[in-house]
Structure 1
Amino acid sequence: MILFSIFVALLAATRAQSQTPPGFKPSTELHLGVTFQDGVSVQAGHELLANEAKSAPQLDLHSLLAIHHTQTPFYHSTWKFMVFMIDIDVERNGTKYPLLHWYQPDLILSGRTGRLSIESDSNMPKAMYAGPAPPPGPAHRYVEVIFKQPERYELPADFEKFLENTIAARLGFDIEQFVKEAGLSEPVAGNWFLTATS
């Protein structure tokens, strides 16, 4: 845990711009590469069309590997990661609720390409990817955040209800509470984009 915290602190020093929206917690200044179909790459805070993000993106941690190769090695090839995508602007009766769009554990990092992929023998519970589909009105913010997965990790029982692929099941997902119950460290990296429906 201490080794990982030192690694994140060093990596943070290489970034200045926040990679999560203002006020979002847990926040990070570390860049998560997010590339959707047709090579659409996410730049923090930029707008995407809903159909550009309809399928799960390719993720990369090139920034992590860059510091790994230039500093004392703090990244280990045995590490696993988990990613979340959350709409933080769903409104019900004047109150905003976070909506879970994606939760994928058991991601492994290629030291050659920097890309993340699902471990071939993974049988961990997950929330299948659901693309953005905000109602007409102001753009919604979609946040992607990735964490190092603890060894012997198990999904907290309180969060199993969020895995069903329905809005009703996934509404109200509390990432801060998840981090606490799952014993996660600070995020490795993040990114976010805006999507609106005209």
Structure 2
Amino acid sequence: MVALIVVFVICFCITAAYNVMNILIVDLYYETPATAMAANNLVRCFLGAGAAAMVNPLIKRIVLFGVITEIVQIFPWTSGQELQIRYPGGAWMTPGMELDIRETRRIPEISSMNLKCNKKYIILFIDLDAILPGTRIQSVILHWYQPNLMMDCTKPPPPSTIVPGKDQGDKHHPAVSYIAPRAPPNTHHRYVYLLFAQPPAYQFPQCFSHVFPETVSARAGFDIREFLQAAGLVAMNYFIGRHEPAEGETTTMPQSATTTSFRSVDCPTRVASSVS
């Protein structure tokens, strides 16, 4: 909002200065009263400055519409239920919100409506726009996988905050540790949170056991479509992570992707859990 006000003021001042000069020229070289022209040009000042100030949010809305369209194509099963995400010290996210990646270093608070105390849930956090280092290959990066999430029934609803259960991280339900977003400088990445209902007899698919190390090679190429066959989607949310380089930070122009890559995994067919 502050940026829009600054843009409006600058545009207004430039337009006003031009029109004042125009009015003075009329007074000095012509005998026509400049009052009518002054009123006309003042209106033009407001219209011109307002139009200029609207360009920035308009562009953002166009970009956001494109992002939403792509995400719906990737996740055609998206639920109407919104997943609430809030990083420490921040506000609850709205879908498509822009966040500085420096604000996402710690695990966020997770919440959603109509969750049940006797149910377990799984959270996935992925980056859709990662470029593998030294290549032009775009790949999905898994940033976090946490099973055995349960609603914190000690707090009054709504909303319902979910936290790891006592058995989180055991041999049958191992967790993939959280890695904060690492978008390169001067880039914007789409980061998506997905919440699943965890079936009672659920076990982590062994075909995805390669994702546990905190390395790019282990987390890259995560095939979300293959993983979705094991659980029922409850809710989702996403944000645009931007990396504005700090003062003195070395930056290079990121390479654009020319192809997309997923890791090939051989998983048995699973039946998706139903959400009641």
- Please state which band the TM-score falls in when normalised by the shorter chain: 0.7 to 0.9
d(CA) in 2 for partners of 1:138, 1:51: 13
Aligned to 1:105: 147
Matches within 5 A, 1:27-42: 27-42=78-93
Matches within 5 A, 1:26-175: 26-61=77-112, 63-64=113-114, 76-92=116-132, 93-111=135-153, 112-113=156-157, 114-122=160-168, 123=170, 124-175=173-224
Is this contact kept in 2: 1:40–1:52, CA < 8 A? no
Structure 1, residues 27-58: CA drift from partner, whole Å, max 9, x if none?
A: 33321110101133211001001111110101
In the alignment, residue 87 of structure 1 is paired with which amino acid?
D
Q: CA deviation at 1:96?
A: 1.9
Segments of 5+ residues of structure 2 without an aligned counterpart are 1-67, 245-276
Runs of 4 or more above 3 Å deviation: 92-95
d(CA) in 2 for partners of 1:162, 1:77: 29
What is the percentage of aligned positions where both structures have the same residue? 28
d(CA) in 2 for partners of 1:134, 1:41: 21
Is this contact kept in 2: 1:85–1:100, CA < 8 A? yes
Alignment coverage as a number of residue pairs = 166
Secondary structure of the corresponding residue to residue 64 of structure 1: coil
Is 1:194 the counterpart of 2:240? The answer is yes
Structure 1, residues 62-114: CA drift from partner, whole Å, max 9, x if none?
A: x225xxxxxxxxxx432100000000001244332100000000000134341
d(CA) in 2 for partners of 1:139, 1:23: 19
Instruction: Please state which structure has a larger fraction of its residues in helix.
Output: 2
CA RMSD across the alignment = 1.8
d(CA) in 1 for partners of 2:184, 2:164: 31
Is this contact kept in 1: 2:119–2:197, CA < 8 A? yes
User: Of residues 24, 30, 40 in structure 1, which corresponds to 2:74?
Assistant: 24
TM-score, structure 1 normalization: 0.77
Segments of 5+ residues of structure 1 without an aligned counterpart are 1-17, 66-75
In the alignment, residue 79 of structure 1 is paired with which amino acid?
K
Cα distance change of structure 1 residues 27 and 85 upon mapping to structure 2, 3 Å threshold = same
Higher normalized contact order (CA 8 Å, seq sep 6+, divided by chain length): 1
TM-score, structure 2 normalization: 0.56
Is this contact kept in 2: 1:99–1:173, CA < 8 A? yes
Structure 1, residues 116-168: CA drift from partner, whole Å, max 9, x if none?
A: 01002322211111111111243000000000001111100011111111111
Is this contact kept in 1: 2:126–2:193, CA < 8 A? yes
Instruction: Please state which structure has a larger fraction of its residues in strand.
Output: 1
Cα distance change of structure 1 residues 137 and 22 upon mapping to structure 2, 3 Å threshold = farther
d(CA) in 1 for partners of 2:181, 2:167: 29
